[in-house]
Amino acid sequence: MNIHILTPEAVRERLAQGVILVDVRSPDEFARERIAQACSIPLERLARGDRTGLPPKGAVMFYCRSGNRTRLGAATLAACAAGEAYILDGGLDAWKRAGLPVQADPGQPLELSRQVQIVAGGLVLAGTAAGAWLSPWFLLLPGFVGGGLVFAGLSGFCGLARVLMRMPWNRRFRDAVSAASARPPPDEGAFMKINIGTIDRIVRLILGLVLIVLAANGTIGWWGWLGLVAVATSLFRFCPLYAVLGINTCPLKSRG
């Protein structure tokens, strides 16, 4: 089944006609900002064949942040829809550029993926500085972070993200997602599998391998630069690795 591309205005018209709109971003992104009529069904869940929440018949519209995820997952989205499948051209960014309303909760915490980037980059910077000025043993810390990133890339499970999920400031978005989607909040293990998409896993794997190689060689300076890149990726929502991998907009830019 083919998937059709709609402008924001066309999506608004179909929403008025009762067509279902699905947000395929991660739950934490959805809780922070979304189109009011949308429900949350992450793309990673649809890719596993879980159609829970989709209508048994009729058309379905899908959107992400910038349109990258819906374009890359077009075949999956078309297969999941019982009727016609549509995607919002340009995603939520295009919707806002068209002056259409969104439902936002600025009190929600940063997206979990960005929190992971900040903490991982901060640990690399701290280990590098301590290794240079205090003791070379502290250089094991960037290597440990690299090993964790490699494991996250290979398995899709991120222990650091699970730890961050238990922090008090990350509890609010679960209730927001549950209320907005009329489904019980996901358990933490399932959330972690949803939140780490394929592209993110590749990036974690590459960063982790680079960190391990640098740790083995004792290249202190490069560790610090890599830590800075990781932190900047999260704060400024731009990652050169995504461009190298052929993704024009970094998924960390609300993972669109």
Q: Over its length of 256 residues, how does the chain's per-residue pLDDT go in tens digits?
A: 678 999 999 999 999 999 999 999 888 788 888 999 999 888 888 888 888 888 888 899 999 988 888 888 888 898 888 888 999 999 999 999 999 999 887 777 677 777 787 888 888 778 778 877 888 777 777 777 777 777 776 666 777 777 777 777 777 665 655 554 444 444 434 343 333 455 555 555 566 556 555 555 555 455 445 554 554 454 444 454 444 444 444 433 333 4
Rounded distance between C-alpha atoms, residue 210 and residue 224, angstroms: 12
List of domains in the chain: 3-104 (3.40.250.10), 112-158+196-244 (no CATH)
pLDDT of residue 158: 75
The C-alpha atoms of residue 225 and residue 17 are separated, in whole angstroms, by 52
Q: Which of 9, 11, 75 is nearest to 43 (CA)?
A: 75
CA-wise closest residue to 148 among 135, 158, 133? 158
pLDDT recorded at residue 61: 95
0.75 surpassed by pTM: no
- Contact by Cβ (8 Å): 34, 103: yes
Spell out the residues 6+ positions from residue 34 whose beta carbon is closer than 8 angstroms to its own.
23, 40, 92, 102, 103, 104, 180
Nearest to 204 by CA among 169, 239, 176, 173: 239
Per the residue annotation, which of 64, 80, 158, 250 is the catalytic one? 64
Output DSSP code: residue 169.
G
Q: Is 64 a catalytic residue?
A: yes
* Tokens found for residue 205: 């794997």
pLDDT at 208: 57
pLDDT for 239 equals 52
Half-sphere exposure in the Cβ direction for 45 (13 Å, CA): 20
Q: Hunting for tokens 């927001």 — which residue is that? A: 176
Contact (CB, 8 A) for 173 and 32: yes
Q: Provide the pLDDT for residue 213.
A: 59
Residue 54 has what pLDDT?
Answer: 87
